[in-house]
Amino acid sequence: MRFGVSSYAYRYSAARILASQGPAAAAQHVLGRSAAAGAEVVQFCDNVPLVDLSAEELDLLRCEAARLGLALDVGTRGIALPGLRTYLALAEELGSRALRLVPDTSDVAAIERSLRALLPDLARARIPLAIENHADLLAPALAALLADLGGREAYLGICLDTANSLGLLERPLETAVALAPLAVQAHIKDYAVERAAIGYRITGRSLGQGWLDLEGLARILRPLLADLDLYVEQWLDPADDLERTLAIEETWVADSLAALRRWAMAALPGEA
């Protein structure tokens, strides 16, 4: 088990630096802030595209990660095969334990074609593809698709996100039950449902401060926790000004990572 930070936890600060200084500076920022928050591994998702770094910039990132004692993990979005193969090579180069993927489509047939074509590459690299549940497919459908393609034996797994499937009106623990057997990593993300002017809205909370049933999640994931990479991710609504937003973002990451560590250690088999 490793405790980490997804680059989407730094959604606002990474976006500001990406726009003004480029992807290498944004990656270094996420790396440094994650280390300061106490992370062991950093997952660079599609908001900080490592594929846009030069070979020299990647080497500098790898050296800085080693200096900080951080492991690197790679993520991408989209099912186009050239992009998947490029990112798989990058995952190999950086020593990533998995390649996280958001398919970004609800076209099951297209996902299946792409994954089936990628299977030999995954087997050669011996790196699992960790497909993240998004507001595209219901969890049982995603689990069935991966099982039909060979599941874990075919290097196909799940990046379990505890809030994303709310976009399909699927309860977080329903998602977890369906996908946990295939999980190789998880985004532990808290949320709340608030009244809106008409109806309701779903928004984010610092971990432990929202509606996520952490006790129920612990019961589902307990047998698997020792082998999972657990990442802080968050939905943070922007404040009235950017500087205030960045300050809240920083606080939420540190607080959520500390809460994640407490929760996971208590949930391990044989613990409290």
Model confidence band, residue 271 (pLDDT cutoffs 50, 70, 90): low
Kindly write down the DSSP assignment for every residue of the chain, as one continuous string.
Answer: -EEEEEGGGGHHHHHHHHHHH-HHHHHHHHHHHHHHHT-SEEEE-TTS-GGGS-HHHHHHHHHHHHHHT-EEEEEEE---HHHHHHHHHHHHHHT-S-EEEE-----HHHHHHHHHHHHHHHHHHT--EEEEP-SSS-HHHHHHHHHHTTGGGGTEEEEEESSGGGGGT--HHHHHHHHGGGEEEEEE-EEEEEE-SSSEEEEEE-TTSSS--HHHHHHHHGGGGGG-EEEE-------SSHHHHHHHHHHHHHHHHHHHHHHHHHHSTT--
For 187-206, the pLDDT digits (tens) are 999 999 999 899 999 999 99
For 106-154, the pLDDT digits (tens) are 999 999 999 999 999 999 999 999 999 998 999 999 999 999 999 999 9
pLDDT, position 47: 96
Structure tokens that stand for 129 in this block = 């593809």
Q: Tell me the β-bridge partners of 72.
A: 42
Model confidence band, residue 268 (pLDDT cutoffs 50, 70, 90): confident
- Cβ distance 44 to 24 under 8 Å? no
CA 242 to CA 30: how far, in whole Å?
Answer: 17
CA 230 to CA 100: how far, in whole Å?
Answer: 13
For 86-118, the pLDDT digits (tens) are 999 999 999 999 999 999 999 999 999 999 999
Q: How many CB atoms lie within 10 A of CB 69?
A: 9
pLDDT, position 269: 80
CA 43 to CA 232: how far, in whole Å?
Answer: 10
- β-pairing, 71-77 with 41-44? parallel
For 13-38, the pLDDT digits (tens) are 999 999 999 999 999 999 999 999 99
